[in-house]
A = this chain, B = another copy of it.
Amino acid sequence: MTVIHPVVLCGGSGTRLWPRSRKAAPKPFLPLVGDSTLFEATLQRCADPAHFAAPVVVTGKLHLGHVEAQSAAFPGTSVIVEPEARNTAAAIALAAAQLPEDAVMLVCPSDHHIADIAAFREAALAAAELAAQDWLVAFGITPTAPETGFGYILRGEPLEGGFRVERFVEKPERATAEQFLADGNYSWNGGIFAFRAGFLMEELAKCRPDIAASVREAVAKGRTEGREFHPDAEAFAGIDGESIDYAVMENTQRAAVVPVAMGWSDIGNWQALRDAREADEAGNCTRGRVELVDCRNVLAETDGPRISVIGLENVAVVVDGDEVLVTTMEGAQKVGRLSGAAKQ
């Protein structure tokens, strides 16, 4: 059985969950669903030594403190500290270039919620088997709504445990998303991937030889400090910031998809967070001192002051330090554009 090397990506600032998520304490490191942070839950999902090796975390200097603190309970965790953010192709390649060529890596974003751990595990094992046979495997999340905020993957001919990828599709218009949902052969691209490390580097070298070469140089000239690895800053600085999807997945002939329904959410805004949490009969979910009167589908949470809400529906009320956010669920997508979120 293939041993899986979790590669956990900790970038991004999660401004759409402002003011709870802030630059200094961003989304992956907050206990947004349940008692664990999203980052801790990501490590926990891969903590079974029967299937998983110790994780490799790829992050930046800003988040290093959170990573160290929250990964302490997961022995053997190593950390690659990016000198600066260069998108997912570079981040994943850093890990791939450091791992043994035959290691199968499972790339996991650290800021997603997955309700059904068993389904995740099953898909991870299937994806690992395909990756061991030199497929570049994407998890294909079974869509539950005509989302326009995600890329889609159309499955092609069946493989053992998955499908060949017929086509990657950019974020669609609403009508197209509805067709995809009805069609049944489209999955969301959730950014979870399984690769054989050596094969990913080969394919990257074919598709984007510049990125592959720079990453190899940054790794070769890098230095290890305890459990941290610091790629060479100068070599890394020249790398194009590109997603693994653009750089490799959409260009390779060996893309596969493993469909999975696992209660997945990217917790991409306050509405998504409310949906991921347990709610009461009226659809409300609260944290901290909150009193609701005549409310439905209200998310209200506070780190201190009491919140009292009367007569509202489909609204989020969030109090965090010196910021108070009140938004319709529809308007939640605009949170990142608030001056508070932008200037933090």
Contacts and interface: CB of A to CB of B under 8 A. Distances in A.
A340 B291 contact: yes
A335 interface: yes
A323 B306 contact: yes
B293 A322 contact: no
A310 B293 contact: no
A179 interface: no
A307 interface: yes
A339 B305 contact: no
Contact of A310 (B311, B323, B327): B327
Interface in A279-324: 291, 293-294, 302, 304-312, 315, 317, 319, 321-324
A306 B327 CA distance: 14
Q: Give the number of times this chain occurs in the complex, counting copies.
A: 2
Contact of A324 (B305, B311, B332): B305
Nearest to A322: B305
A330 interface: yes
A149 interface: no
Contacts of A305: 319, 321-324
A174 to B, nearest CB: 19
Given A305-B324, A326-B326, A311 B293 contact: no
B326 A309 contact: yes
Contacts of A167: none
Nearest to A323: B306
A334 B310 contact: yes
A328 interface: yes
B340 A326 contact: no
A338 interface: yes
Contacts of A310: 325-328, 331-332, 334-335, 338
A308 B302 CA distance: 15
A316 to B, nearest CB: 9
A324 B308 contact: yes
Interface centre among A304, A324, A325 (most CB of B within 10 A): A324
Nearest to A307: B324
Interface centre among A294, A326, A327, A335 (most CB of B within 10 A): A326
B340 A325 contact: no
A3 to B, nearest CB: 47
B306 A324 contact: yes
A326 B307 contact: yes
A67 to B, nearest CB: 29
A327 B328 CA distance: 13
A22 to B, nearest CB: 13
Q: What 8 A-B pairs come out closest when comparing CB atoms?
A: A311-B331, A310-B331, A311-B328, A310-B327, A305-B322, A309-B326, A307-B324, A308-B338
22 contacts: A291-B339, A291-B340, A293-B338, A294-B334, A302-B324, A304-B322, A305-B319, A305-B322, A307-B324, A308-B323, A308-B325, A308-B327, A308-B338, A309-B326, A310-B325, A310-B332, A311-B327, A311-B330, A311-B331, A312-B328, A315-B326, A317-B326
